[in-house]
Structure 1
Amino acid sequence: MVRSAVDYLDARLPFLDQARDYVRKIFPDHWSFLLGEMALYSFVLLLLTGVWLTFFFEPGMGDTVYHGAYTPLSGIRMSEAYSSVLRISFDVRGGLLIRQIHHWAAVLFLSAIGLHLLRIFFTGAFRKPREVNWLIGLTMFVVSLLEGFAGYSLPDDLLSGTGLRTAEGITLSIPIVGTYLQMFFFGGEFPGTHIVGRLFSLHVLLLPGVLLALVGLHLMLVFTLGHTQWHGHGRTNRNVVGMPLFPQFAARSTGLAFCTFGVCALAAALAQINPVWVYGPYRPDQASTDAQPDWYVGFLEGAMRLMPGVESRFLGHTVVWDVFIPAVVLPAVLFGVLYLYPFAERLLTRDKRTHHLCDRPRHAPVRTGLGVAGVVFYGVLLLAGSQDLLANVFQTSVELVNWTLRIAVLVLPFLAFALTRRLCLGLQERDMERVHEGVETGWVRQNVSGGYEEEHRPLERD
């Protein structure tokens, strides 16, 4: 019956002829290649839970008085958006679980994309012919940041409202056009009455559509250009060693999908995240204490906290440099460098060859050093986003923490580059010794002259 049904469909929808070339496509078998799949399956989970949440969420900023199941806020005036989030969390069966699955899946999605990009960078998988796919993946990460911020701001609670106030300040810091952009985004003076509805349209329609298009284009290029693989016995630029798409890779990938869903569901059931009822509804005259952004935009918060206060006049406009430089110029420069890096490396190294084999990070000491320096730079800025909490933990002044982190953000990346590059060169020397002398066995024997010698065995090919 199955065969007859397949033959019937194949005669009318000849997609099986096209699929035959893909079901036997070989995929390499290494855990690091699963990061991209994890991002894909967390995105699928985001779509499923997001569609469910749209049935109950009200993207309105009109005033209402809450009379729901959460009695501490009963009788409090709030926006329709915040009231609907409370209703999802406490009145809708399974609503809080789905909300938390959605939030944990978003955290996993951005984390997986970030780690996937780091894997591609450190292994040189962005080189010819995959420069365009690197640009697509990086654009996907940028769009995901915007999508995460839009979703984070939808509940209209005091914490997300503080984040929107920060976003308004960043917009206003742009010289000449800042005030016009602020009025365009918010539809009037902050907070206005339109921002939640506009963010809702972005979050559920425009940005997911862009992500779906980018994911589809990314996967198409992976199938067309072939998958990269690690160096090893029998692996060349002309072949791929691994498992076929069907059934081995499909079975393993399906298992990873269910594991991703299960981990997010388990985290949602056991670990509380974004308890908006604790923060209360947003009010422009209040700010949430210990307000910290999500980790993926924490470096912007840290950069603004470390930047000394500087203002000047430009063409009759006041320019707040301590916001404009860290929150607008810095991310533009960082992502600009990442977009241009594959072409800059190709130009500087004059390497125009096609690469299907991944580099070991130690074999590209400059690139690895630059990557580690970038990670350290980001880490210091992320710490700076919590400089007030650090001062409280270490019982010191915020000013001392600020100056310590200001020095660290300028010095540590250079130290990280130098140490990483030296470590890579040292590992290369050790590898050469192992090739010439063999691998240490742990045995030591005494020779006829009374001295001691280590025993080595020849290096095996992997």
Structure 2
Amino acid sequence: MRGPWSNLRARVFPDHWSLLFGQIAFYSFVVVTLTGLVLMVPYQPSVEHVVYDGSYAPLHGVQMSQAMDSTMTISFELRGGLLVRQMHHWGALIMVAAILLHLLRLFFTAGFRRPRRLNWVVVFGLLIITLGACLTGTTLPDDMASGTSLAVLDGVLQATPFVGTQLSALLFGGAFPGDVITQFYPLHIIVLPALLVVLFIVSGALALRNKPAQFAGPGRTEDNVVGSPATVAVVKSVGLFCFVAGVVGLMGALATINPVWLFGPADPANTSAGVGSAWYLAFLDGALRLAPGWEAVWWGRTISFAILLPVAICTLFLALVGIYPFIEERVTRDRREHNLLERPRSNPIRTGIGVAGVVFYGTLWAAAGADTMAVQFHLSVNALIHLFQALLIIGPPVAFSITRRICLGLQQRDTKIATNGIETGRILRLPTGGYVETHRPAHLQLTSSEDSRVDTTGRR
């Protein structure tokens, strides 16, 4: 009996550029894993203090943890160590960006509909676990920037009513700062990477099991796939991996990132200036900045809504993103299997919701840099905060309305083209003396690349 994975060599895989984000995420993970294995050897996950006497003169005689000292050794004394460190960091950032773009592609093209709802859940799980891996990884150098981030995290945990102190003690292994590296190091090198490997395997198995989704077009139907044969797809994948590794290596060699020697070692009594949260977590920082300073006293305890409210809103936002395919299926009652992707304009409501979500996220993300914007552009921080607060409320519905109207306008244009054809720019004079522009039938608008594609039967 033929199974879903039988005769893989005879299968054809769509090769649209938007389908590459998932592969880029996986290849970035491979680069991050390989560089991480190299960094594990010289790194010392310990908070025991030593006196730095390495080759970086400005920190001579400064007390720091063994974690920070080993990070300095990797950066300045281990041959190629700084390159590997920066490749590891850049690879993680590219991985997060690729997963986010992959999620956006699935959303706006309806790639999450049956039979691919589980694909959406897996990709969303990849995003959450990757964020966790990045967060735990940035704390391992034990520098001032990571110490400041942990102090913010400790404040958020302790603001949780009734159980905040216990949550903080559980995470940090005691009173802050505790021995957080001992807590985070196994998560970063074993638990979270193992979960990512499992999810990538599940994602690949689902991609092979289900029929590949593709955009509608000439020769493309629910059962007929236009793209590259399996052998060509493998060669392209190898080339893409080499390209991703080369880009990560180039960025690691030319672009400095996370210069821990400029910040110095972590100190709970001090904080870093001019250093913000990582871009992938900036929306949480922005939410904290925009929240009003509301407080209430219940049962003799002061509860700060300035922290609880943004955490609850961000958690709800992420939860809605994770279960959106199931919400849409219940609302539309569409339980059919779809193997063709939709253009964003084909579903104005979904596209409007997506753009509104992007505006909501982008406003929180931008608000995290309100202080830096105020300094650079000589503006009032309070004025910027009030502006972002207004945008957070007004922006999403306005973006939804504008996007929906644009999609409806594009639909009308497509209908006009399908009915009257495509304008050619040729003006003909009628025997009656009038003038008319000739139109070309829409089905004749084929490109040479589409003519050379391969379908499931192998025909050119």
Same fold (TM over 0.5): yes
Q: Indicate the residue corresponding to 2:255 in structure 1.
A: 271
> In the alignment, which of 205, 218, 228 is matched to residue 220 of structure 1?
205
| Whole-angstrom distance in 2 between the partners of 1:344 and 1:19 | 30
Structure 1 regions of 5+ residues with no counterpart?
Answer: 1-16
CA separation of 1:379 and 1:272: change in aligned 2, threshold 3 A: same
Q: Indicate the residue corresponding to 1:150 in structure 2.
A: 136
CA separation of 1:18 and 1:418: change in aligned 2, threshold 3 A: closer
State the TM-score, normalizing by the size of structure 2: 0.94
- 1:203 matched to 2:188? The reply is yes
- 1:184 matched to 2:167? The reply is no
> In the alignment, which of 224, 227, 231 is matched to residue 242 of structure 1?
227
* Residue identity opposite 2:172 in structure 1: F
| Whole-angstrom distance in 1 between the partners of 2:211 and 2:151 | 45
- 1:418 matched to 2:417? The reply is no
Q: CA deviation at 1:314?
A: 3.5
| Whole-angstrom distance in 2 between the partners of 1:368 and 1:72 | 53
CA separation of 1:348 and 1:19: change in aligned 2, threshold 3 A: closer
Structure 2 regions of 5+ residues with no counterpart?
Answer: 447-460
> In the alignment, which of 233, 236, 239 is matched to residue 218 of structure 2?
233
Q: CA deviation at 1:420?
A: 0.5
Q: CA deviation at 1:244?
A: 2.0
* Residue identity opposite 1:272 in structure 2: T
1:92 match: secondary structure: coil
| Whole-angstrom distance in 2 between the partners of 1:423 and 1:407 | 24
| Whole-angstrom distance in 1 between the partners of 2:113 and 2:342 | 11
State the TM-score, normalizing by the size of structure 1: 0.93
| Whole-angstrom distance in 1 between the partners of 2:300 and 2:228 | 64
| Whole-angstrom distance in 1 between the partners of 2:443 and 2:81 | 56
| Whole-angstrom distance in 1 between the partners of 2:123 and 2:309 | 26
- Given that 2:282 and 2:368 are in contact with CA atoms closer than 8 Å, whether structure 1 keeps it comes out as yes
2:184 match: secondary structure: helix
RMSD (Å), alpha carbons = 1.5
Q: CA deviation at 1:227?
A: 1.5
- Given that 1:113 and 1:141 are in contact with CA atoms closer than 8 Å, whether structure 2 keeps it comes out as yes
Q: CA deviation at 1:207?
A: 0.5
1:143 match: secondary structure: helix
Q: Per-residue CA shift, 1:18-69, capped at 9, x if unaligned?
A: 9862233321010000110000100000110001100011111111000011
1:289 match: secondary structure: coil
- 1:71 matched to 2:57? The reply is yes
> In the alignment, which of 100, 105, 122 is matched to residue 119 of structure 1?
105
- Given that 1:162 and 1:291 are in contact with CA atoms closer than 8 Å, whether structure 2 keeps it comes out as no
- 1:325 matched to 2:300? The reply is no
Q: CA deviation at 1:448?
A: 4.1
Q: Per-residue CA shift, 1:117-136, capped at 9, x if unaligned?
A: 00000000101111112111
* Residue identity opposite 1:189 in structure 2: A
1:78 match: secondary structure: strand
Q: Indicate the residue corresponding to 1:302 in structure 2.
A: 286
CA separation of 1:19 and 1:403: change in aligned 2, threshold 3 A: closer
| Whole-angstrom distance in 2 between the partners of 1:269 and 1:340 | 40
> In the alignment, which of 331, 335, 338 is matched to residue 352 of structure 1?
335
| Whole-angstrom distance in 2 between the partners of 1:175 and 1:101 | 40
* Residue identity opposite 1:374 in structure 2: G
2:419 match: secondary structure: helix
1:7-406 matches, within 5 Å, as 21-192=7-178, 194-245=179-230, 247-326=231-310, 328-406=311-389
| Whole-angstrom distance in 2 between the partners of 1:280 and 1:392 | 24
* Residue identity opposite 1:156 in structure 2: D
Q: Could you tell which deviates more after superposition, 330-339 or 234-243?
A: 234-243
* Residue identity opposite 2:142 in structure 1: D
| Whole-angstrom distance in 2 between the partners of 1:19 and 1:379 | 40
| Whole-angstrom distance in 2 between the partners of 1:315 and 1:135 | 40
- 1:436 matched to 2:422? The reply is no
- Given that 2:4 and 2:210 are in contact with CA atoms closer than 8 Å, whether structure 1 keeps it comes out as no
Q: Could you tell which deviates more after superposition, 168-177 or 235-244?
A: 235-244
| Whole-angstrom distance in 2 between the partners of 1:315 and 1:451 | 85
| Whole-angstrom distance in 1 between the partners of 2:261 and 2:161 | 37
| Whole-angstrom distance in 2 between the partners of 1:113 and 1:197 | 28
Q: Could you tell which deviates more after superposition, 304-313 or 18-27?
A: 18-27
2:357 match: secondary structure: helix
- Given that 2:5 and 2:208 are in contact with CA atoms closer than 8 Å, whether structure 1 keeps it comes out as no
| Whole-angstrom distance in 1 between the partners of 2:167 and 2:339 | 44
CA separation of 1:362 and 1:90: change in aligned 2, threshold 3 A: same
* Residue identity opposite 1:184 in structure 2: L
* Residue identity opposite 2:110 in structure 1: G
Q: CA deviation at 1:313?
A: 2.5
Q: Indicate the residue corresponding to 1:5 in structure 2.
A: none
What is the aligned residue count?
443
Q: CA deviation at 1:360?
A: 0.4
| Whole-angstrom distance in 1 between the partners of 2:264 and 2:161 | 34
